[in-house]
Amino acid sequence: ELKVEQNPLFLSMQEGKNYTIYCNYSTTSDRLYWYRQDPGKSLESLFVLLSNGAVKQEGRLMASLDTKARLSTLHITAAVHDLSATYFCAVDPSTGTASKLTFGTGTRLQVTL
Amino acid sequence: NAGVMQNPRHLVRRRGQEARLRCSPMKGHSHVYWYRQLPEEGLKFMVYLQKENIIDESGMPKERFSAEFPKEGPSILRIQQVVRGDSAAYFCASSPQSGSFQHFGDGTRLSIL
């Protein structure tokens, strides 16, 4: 059974600081996704990483994927309050036509002034 | 450019009643996925459907739960004889093809009295 683990589960950081969220998964996969969820809301797509060494950046967020280590990171640069949310990574292990995501437990990020 | 539409947004049922959750995928998307999110947890895959076919229902409870995606109309997730443990947020996602980015709806929050 595929397991996806994120750490930390909760992160409180000051504005202007940098930090990294880690996502480890237990089986081979070339597709990894990052989503953001605000309380009581749906999931907002952030990044899709499709190959080893892939790096994507949007604003203060940068995601990378190391398929050999089965590790993805979400790096936050100079955090601002608006980034406060829960961040999920999700892995799609399918190689055929089936497709389902296995989500991590989520990292709840709180950015304080 | 409508996204994934789910209704109702909130649904309250008494124990033993039936709950019907609806999902209209994005235009041009023929793949639909249902996920369940318990409070303070990540999303858990339930079922993956294409038009008129169930592709993968490995995450569906064996009893009381069923899903369909008819040729015409929205996908329906049906929960019969609901129990308190069914209280959760149910999210639908859609994609144009297997393995591509899944876009999520706003979810249906089901509360069982």
- Tell me, letter by letter, the H, E, C secondary structure of B35-75: EEECCCCCEEEEEEEECCEEEECCCCCCCCEEEECCCCCCE
Which residues of B make CB contacts under 8 Å with A? 31, 33, 35, 41-45, 48, 55-56, 58-59, 91, 95, 98-99, 101-107
Residue of B nearest to A31 (CA): B99
How far is the C-alpha of B29 from the C-alpha of A58, rounded, in Å? 26
Is residue A87 within 8 angstroms of chain B, CB to CB? no
Q: What is the pLDDT of residue A96?
A: 56
Among candidates B5, B31, B17, which has minimal Cα distance to B78? B17
Nearest CA in chain B to A106: B42
Selecting from A4, A42, A99 the residue whose C-beta is nearest the C-beta of B99 gives A99
> First CA to last CA across chain B, in angstroms?
36
Mean pLDDT of A50-74: 92
Residue A10's DSSP bridge partners are A108
A105 touches chain B (CB under 8 A): yes
Higher-pLDDT residue of B13, A31? B13
Please choose, from the candidates B65, B87, B54, B42, the residue with its C-alpha nearest in 3D space to the C-alpha of residue A101: B42
* pLDDT bucket at A51, cuts 50 / 70 / 90: confident
* Interface residue of B104, B106, B108, B109 to substitute, partner A, most A CBs within 10 Å: B104
Residue B97, pLDDT score:
78
Statement: residue A98 has pLDDT above 70: no
Search chain B and give the residue with CA nearest A101: B45
Note whether B102 contacts A101, CB cutoff 8 Å. Answer: yes
Q: Is the pLDDT of residue A75 over 70?
A: yes
Q: For residues B7 and B22, is the Cβ–Cβ distance under 8 A?
A: yes
Question: CB-based burial of residue B59 (10 Å sphere; 0-12 exposed, 13-18 middle, 19+ buried)?
Answer: middle
The 3-class secondary structure across chain A, one letter per residue, is CCCEEEECCEEEEECCCCEEEEEEECCCCCCEEEEEECCCCCEEEEEEECCCCCEEEECCEEEEEECCCCEEEEEECCCCHHHCEEEEEEECCCCCCCCCCEECCCEEEEEEC
Tell me which residue in A100, A105, A106 faces B45 most closely, judged by beta carbons: A100
The mean-pLDDT minimum among A61-65, A94-98, B6-10 falls in A94-98
Rounded CA-CA distance A47/A33 in Å is 6
Q: Is B107 left (phi over 0), alpha (psi -120 to 50) or beta?
A: left
Per-residue pLDDT of B17-35, as tens digits, reads 999 999 999 998 999 999 9
Of A88, A98, A106, the CB nearest to B48: A98
Mean pLDDT, chain B, integer = 93
- Residue B6: which pLDDT band, with cuts at 50, 70 and 90? very high
Of residues B4 and A93, which shows the higher confidence score?
A: B4
Predicted local distance difference test score (pLDDT) of residue B107? 95
CA distance B40 to chain A (A): 8
